[in-house]
Structure 1
């Protein structure tokens, strides 16, 4: 395996090449500045004025005469590397979403950058054009990474299922992830990371290049955490078969369509049922119920993603059992009838933590309010994220 790259300086401080020009176009301009640029076998010669007046002069290996022609695609300028970078930066500034990207590691450029416009992935990466990649996410809470090792173990399992070799060994990957968060200075947010079959070509199989890649991005959400109860519906989008549902791959089109279906129906998410009609999971979270007998019940993990947050909640629930606030906690097949008749229903995941479900397909769950067990489990999870044992909290060396 490859050795861990040196991360002493962010790549944004170590540019490999520097381009200088004497004429700069404004961002969004349709004109190409006056300069000569290589263009395959010929060169591009720019006349002063608009791109419509640009002339292309091509050479020939058969000693043919040079032929002048006018480019009429005035809205498609040919950009230099520096111009493209400027436009990427402008795009980031003008299209900021609800998340801020503070740092990125890429094994392709072998370092960390804190420039959002440089946080890119090669277009020929097998993860981009074939969906051949896996990912995972770990929360950052008060300067600690929460359950990093648990999520790291899961992405390595997913990579093995997806036949993606590791670019580094587990400890080196762990070190890279921690250093990326450290470089970001983020104390509250999330770390998302990917293992990909890597770039090389656009073929179906990556065997011709077989150079896996690792990417990681530190994300800071701009919206406050919301624990208010939500409505869900039953998804009509077919869920992935177990081979793919148990693997956290980037193939999330069914998940996206399921989420969109929920939004179109005024719901937060849609819940999947497996091929036998049992309750499975949400598009990016697990589900759990509190039965009429005051027992915490979760669907089996054999056909769905093995949620790190869900498993941690099962462990924390034992505290409620010991205090008599829960009768027990277990996993089992759960029917829709059992779920809709439950005293409480909740969504579990790194993005939602523990969130109450008040309505399912217009059916009121319990008394239609956030239940006491759901709230107690949320409080236990937040406490665990702030002051849990070393097995779940990894300090970040800023």
Structure 2
């Protein structure tokens, strides 16, 4: 079955999907987006993702492309037409099409596109069982990382550096030597005494939905958690390290900058947390 995309009110073959050359998302990265995981036909963290999408639009003074309930209906139709039971759905909203000029166009009509794709649970489990490696890089992004903007070039450069060094992800480091987050993930460490540490939300990181859901689960399970910045040195000396994201859920990290984390294998706590999160998704 060929893939189907949604573009401004129409369902079209994925290969034919297009927006106008003067769409401000294309010319100015004047847009926002969300990626929502789908597990057994269930959109995981749907409410949180859509809340964040609306917040991003409000922060950029961008008009909503449609009301929330109709948008939810379109999302499900995109999934149905693509036959996606396990995978990801991508939503992007831009300020729309207008003659190229920096100021916001008057009476702009926002553009909305959606795509969906299948993913392999088996491949994800194989990756988690082995664990992944990361590198650290300077954080060169803008000051409003809390907005899920399509302006991702610094993230792309960080991820590309990771790929070129044979790593899965790049954790970014601020000017004071603290980890902010990954290029497309939230960063966590587990200290030697078993405390889970992740940076608190603010303008300097994206408030991850998987991160937020995991924090709720940790509170229910009585894990010890500290919301604070942590240094590169703490990262390198941690008992365990893992990341969270919509596509990877909870993913153990076994190597940082070429040096093993612990014994170089996924840690017991990280594995337990992945199991807890999988149970959450399947219930």
TM-score (norm 2): 0.92
Residues 128-163 of structure 1: CA deviation (Å, up to 9, x unaligned): 111100000111111111111110010111111222
Q: Please name the residue that 2:244 is paired with.
A: 348
Q: Please name the residue that 1:272 is paired with.
A: 172
Superposition pairs of residues 1-398 of structure 1, within 5 angstroms: 102-107=3-8, 110-113=9-12, 115-208=13-106, 210-221=108-119, 224-225=123-124, 226-227=127-128, 228-236=130-138, 238-243=139-144, 245-302=145-202, 303-321=204-222, 326=223, 328-387=224-283
**Residues of 2 paired with 1:347 and 1:339: CA distance?**
12
> 1:220/1:138 Cα in 2 relative to 1: closer, same or farther (>3 Å)?
same
CA RMSD after TM alignment: 1.8
**Larger RCO: 1 or 2 (CA < 8 Å, sep 6+):** 2
> 1:101/1:320 Cα in 2 relative to 1: closer, same or farther (>3 Å)?
farther
CA contact (8 A) 2:239 2:262 kept: yes
**Residues of 2 paired with 1:101 and 1:221: CA distance?**
15
Q: Which has the higher helix share?
A: 2
Q: Please name the residue that 1:13 is paired with.
A: none
Report which of the two structures shows the higher radius of gyration computed on alpha carbons. Answer: 1
Segments of 5+ residues of structure 2 without an aligned counterpart are: none
CA contact (8 A) 1:101 1:220 kept: no
TM-score (norm 1): 0.66
Question: How far off its partner does 1:366 sit?
Answer: 1.8
Determine helix, strand or coil for the equivalent of 1:207. coil
Determine helix, strand or coil for the equivalent of 1:288. strand
CA contact (8 A) 1:343 1:367 kept: no
CA contact (8 A) 2:82 2:117 kept: no
CA contact (8 A) 2:98 2:105 kept: no
Question: How far off its partner does 1:101 sit?
Answer: 7.2
Determine helix, strand or coil for the equivalent of 1:280. strand
Segments of 5+ residues of structure 1 without an aligned counterpart are: 1-99, 388-398
